[in-house]
Structure 1
């Protein structure tokens, strides 16, 4: 039974200094859900005996089966724990005195560890103030964790660290203390390397340091963990003249103790032992060894360490006895809870530096000031970032964080990401909707509460009918939106589906609509062929969404095509002369040149460093200083396209005309043509990327009725197509960053597999007989009858394992308009799949003559 009632938890949410919103980060299998079990047992959500086995934070049946989560769900826990003062300025801090136990409201966000589900991590980081990074000491800091840490810094989340799986190092690998210390130190060092950009971003005090207490070590599965403070407090009492603070510094790094002389040195000399090994690892390892050997001396040692066992506990044997003794000696939940309470900032601290990076409006506005102050009495500002099913068919709870005001059952403005209060054309993206109920995720239960004050994470009922994937909810009409989430993956995998029975088509279409709401990033579109295309981040992601579509959202059978990847269309040169297109009534002409935008600018747009919502002068300064643009061009950018949040508008339209009458009247029409053209390019209706369109000249009819949207939008699309086709059009293909882990003896086979699938090895490392190879690999090579995984298994006799992360787009050098080229085959295959004419695009359809 939970130790606290929902009313107690609701009251605690108002004590904002005690609220901790924490995202759990870690690669698959590193132990995040086991840590949740420890905290859950502490709050009464499960029995202590089930720690590591129940995995209570996994909601879905398929998650429990694979012991890995696919979705992020908030879990509120009211916890009574000690905390400590932090003394000194950021970057020069020390751990102060330990305070008495007090109550805290933890909102833990257990995120997926698989790269395909990293959009769920992005959603968690937007809601969180801090992170609990979990790293297995036996595996070290992997590429996935490095990406997660970088993403967490962008969202201004302060890190803490749990170095997990010491049980494997002690009982399975049987490492000696010095080797284990070096592995632990390497994990901490690697995490700090990943955090190196924090100071550049203006975030001081984000480093990890065991002597400061923001790192704990242990075994989440066996339910034990410790910080240096626990041992420092114990030994400081036994050593004359030794303080707790001084002892903590002795227990990490190059601090060596000589038992015979009872002296400390900073270099290893004969007879000296590293402090961490002597005072921490030695007693832990000795206790493990005695219990596993069934040596009765373990009872004496346990008693000395303050462990008192019941009669039933003493009947346990082997690993079960180890688990019980270690959990009683140093409960993992206590160490983790104290670290979170001490080092994870409260919302009213974090929002002082988080808001300016996530809010589109001016920071000197009353709304921004209310959010910075985390004011529950201010106007409501809430960012809804994901949807969770309610259990009722087709209905969802919208999950998000209140940054200002208090969310309650009332009417609010619900705004899609495209809404701009200064643009009257976007008013359709804002609706007035009623919140029907406010729900708290208390453990695994959804419980209703009357309201939710600023700084807390909560789920709203009834709002789902007014939004698609995410939304800004506000009580103030003048408020700007929150910035959209930034994902480090793209929907590059596609699969076509059709209902097995055509009579079930309406159910399938309705199911696809629900699926788009339920998944943060999945895309569903209909093709002229009658196929419905579902796009995901990878094979695992596609499997999951298709399973959910069939079982939860549509409830019908459907046939599946062969998985394919998406491509981008781009240009590699500037056309010799402007492309010309005339409007259907022949009264208007547009002259446009297409040229490469450049990968750096494209990346900056896709990562939201450059966007249309920016101040014009600020955007111009970035383009001039960092990318060498002309000032005149920077100030005359008309738009980016396409505007789809999950596609990224890495194509730009620049006005280079001079002295044209009525030009501003056609801006909207031409921009609309840009969106259309950039979303479906001329080669195969794939998204464009990296194209800069320069509007060189315009001839317009004097009468406005002859130069309306119906005349200029299709003309703009045609002239953009013509400009692309005369500028050496090419395809770009998506590239994975592939990490292959394997024994050292099969390294040559790994290299052969990478070369066989058009991959490029970047670097490889070998340590203790284990090798890790990082390579760039075309995503198309991971599909088909002979995917990379199959070739890798063949070449290495099944001893190698590959993980993937979308990294970048790469140009395909061959010309798609050249007969017999590889790019031509790609183009024709895509056109055939989409029901287009299986032939080269006819440039005469897009370019007119005078």
Structure 2
């Protein structure tokens, strides 16, 4: 099907865990004709949750992609091509959301009508704001007892500083969710119970809902005409603002991120999803509506990539998957130009050229070969060896590098032991592949214990990855207890610390000599290197070696083997030898100086502190708060979720949170839940520090 780029929509579906993302996507697949049967999450048969572990756990673990075509709920539109990324809701897999936000143009934010704006909802909202992604809002689960569309509306404004504009509001009959009121066309939409809600009718709004419908219709008009003098004058003069004008203003303001159209429904009960599809094509941007993607040329100069097929080919690899039948798959978003299978492409990130074997359209775990792919589209490539997440794919005559994808640091570690000695070499190949798939997963060999240490974003993250290794490779593994990824830092400034490396061995010797100041840096600053060498005391060609040596030493840790954070290294003096000085000698001298200065600067440990959201029933609130306080927790606030539940927001050291899910289940009789995400690093108290050391 030949569809123009202005009818492309690259979107994500994001929300808190269990808000109904995958259920909503299943309905989208059904109503667009991709699937002829609806797969349910609770039956373990959801199309997009195709991994065994996703079906067993009932959660989304990896972002899945699919493509659908939509011509409107009334079949009155040209066909639109919608590339959909269904992202995980659990905070341990936040990297999947991060890299998806980097390459989509719009996103559908789902909210539970009972839970409202939940913790992970805030996280994904911030990610969408960071990447400038336009949003529509779908309030799901309106059929549930305790649902409150207007509370979610207020939560969005209060907690997220959002500007939601309802374009549909819920209609209840005898306290049961019955349909939705279309404020633009001013009609009530009701769905047939049979045929999975495939058919629906537009009927007159009942009298008892006219007043509230008029109120929100006026709110809609006032929201979209804001900043538009022509339409403000028209409205103030009591002239009718036509539906086409409302649609035009809604689209314009949504693309500019001034407003977020707000819908409602129940995906499980098959109500409201067709309206969501209409809103996706009506209000979210096409690739042509985006200002352009930033890249850098060979001179490091910023350039804008235009989304046109007539431009040179340029794309970003945003995901790597190792398929058991095809091999390594590189998912990429095309920002300009066109490429066909069999062409040569250039990896400008690594300066390598490869032949593009196959281009695939991916639908969850199903693949379809396509001949070519052009600007604005999303596809996958098979047979590429040098490309990883964040790399730029170019035509061979294009040398631009696109902005990379940010990956958070891991916060938790475990030891990994392979039972069978003959499998030890195999495990490193497997771990390397996993790191390419998921850059937030890291591994290394501990120098002292000789154990393999794996690191990730949380207990569930590592648990899922280890189980994946077991199943796919039939390996017997032993997992150690989780360990916190601490950081080393200093509390005192130290000046004039010398590092010398001098060796004479008959021929050419080794000579490196540096003097540094080591200072306390600001929070979150990492390691800052300042070069204050003047008059050629140390030749310029050795400065980069000195900087790299200090950064490498800091990365490995000085006293306890943890990376060093928040220090300022000032290179102030030194000397060199015309014959004996070398890069290696200055590297060793720099490392000596840095380690010595660090030891004298009152070193200490920093621990990761997590932002924890604990949801608990009212009757268990006291016990839960008491338990959190005993975990060295800092209570931030308590918020109402509903009449029965509260959310306790607190900062708690990660070391206190292991096995918390079991404790919380016990305290709340199985009714409590929690989520946590990394917040900041804080100094470890002295009594705890002694135990760690």
TM-score for the superposition, normalised by structure 1: 0.68
Paired with 2:126 and 2:519, the residues of 1 have a C-alpha distance of 32
Q: 2:340 aligns with which of 404, 408, 414?
A: 408
Normalized per residue, the structure richer in helix is: 1
Deviation at 1:598, TM superposition (A): 0.5
**Equivalent runs, 1:632-651 vs 2, <5 Å:** 650-651=526-527
Specify the alignment match of 1:26 in structure 2. 15
**1:753 to 2:627 alignment:** yes
**1:563 to 2:478 alignment:** no
Q: 1:62 aligns with which of 53, 56, 61?
A: 53
Distance 1:116 1:49, change over 3 A: closer
**Equivalent runs, 1:308-457 vs 2, <5 Å:** 327=270, 331-350=271-290, 352=291, 355-356=293-294, 359-360=295-296, 368-369=303-304, 371=305, 373-392=306-325, 395-409=327-341, 410-416=343-349, 429-442=350-363, 444-457=365-378
Specify the alignment match of 1:768 in structure 2. 643
**1:801 to 2:667 alignment:** no
**1:190 to 2:155 alignment:** yes
Deviations 1:262-308 (A, max 9, x none): xxxxxxxxxxxxxxxxxxxxxxxxxxxxxxxxxxxxxxxxxxxxxxx
Deviation at 1:750, TM superposition (A): 1.4
Specify the alignment match of 1:579 in structure 2. 497
Paired with 1:226 and 1:362, the residues of 2 have a C-alpha distance of 54
Deviation at 1:376, TM superposition (A): 1.3
Distance 1:124 1:788, change over 3 A: same
Q: 2:413 aligns with which of 494, 508, 528?
A: 494
Could you say what the CA RMSD is over the residues aligned between the two structures, in angstroms? 3.2
Q: 2:30 aligns with which of 37, 41, 44?
A: 41
Specify the alignment match of 2:399 in structure 1. 479
Runs of 4+ off more than 4 Å: 48-54, 215-218, 222-227, 233-239, 245-248, 250-254, 360-365, 793-799
Q: State the SS of the aligned residue for 1:677.
A: helix
Paired with 2:307 and 2:635, the residues of 1 have a C-alpha distance of 48
Distance 1:474 1:341, change over 3 A: same
Paired with 2:170 and 2:46, the residues of 1 have a C-alpha distance of 21
Deviation at 1:145, TM superposition (A): 0.8
Q: Verify the 8 A CA contact 1:25 1:133 in the aligned structure 2.
A: yes
Deviation at 1:500, TM superposition (A): 0.7
Specify the alignment match of 1:289 in structure 2. none
Aligned residues: 620
**Equivalent runs, 1:87-98 vs 2, <5 Å:** none
Q: Verify the 8 A CA contact 1:397 1:461 in the aligned structure 2.
A: yes
Q: Verify the 8 A CA contact 1:753 1:788 in the aligned structure 2.
A: no
Specify the alignment match of 2:94 in structure 1. 118
Paired with 1:431 and 1:760, the residues of 2 have a C-alpha distance of 50
TM-score for the superposition, normalised by structure 2: 0.83
Specify the alignment match of 2:383 in structure 1. 462
Q: State the SS of the aligned residue for 1:191.
A: helix
Moved more, 766-775 or 149-158: 766-775
**1:654 to 2:572 alignment:** no
**1:164 to 2:140 alignment:** yes
Q: 2:654 aligns with which of 748, 769, 779?
A: 779
**1:77 to 2:68 alignment:** yes
Deviation at 1:574, TM superposition (A): 0.6
Q: 1:674 aligns with which of 530, 533, 550?
A: 550
Q: State the SS of the aligned residue for 2:164.
A: coil
Runs of 5+ unmatched residues, structure 1: 1-7, 84-98, 174-179, 197-205, 255-321, 417-428, 603-649, 815-820, 828-850
Paired with 1:217 and 1:493, the residues of 2 have a C-alpha distance of 47
Runs of 5+ unmatched residues, structure 2: 189-201, 223-265, 504-509
Deviation at 1:414, TM superposition (A): 1.7
Distance 1:524 1:739, change over 3 A: same
Distance 1:721 1:249, change over 3 A: same
Deviations 1:462-492 (A, max 9, x none): 12x21344311122666343333224x5311
Distance 1:407 1:710, change over 3 A: same
Q: 2:618 aligns with which of 744, 750, 754?
A: 744
**1:692 to 2:610 alignment:** no
Deviations 1:43-83 (A, max 9, x none): 22333565676422211122122322100121101111169
Paired with 1:452 and 1:361, the residues of 2 have a C-alpha distance of 23
Paired with 1:411 and 1:146, the residues of 2 have a C-alpha distance of 42
Q: Verify the 8 A CA contact 1:58 1:64 in the aligned structure 2.
A: yes
Distance 1:362 1:454, change over 3 A: same
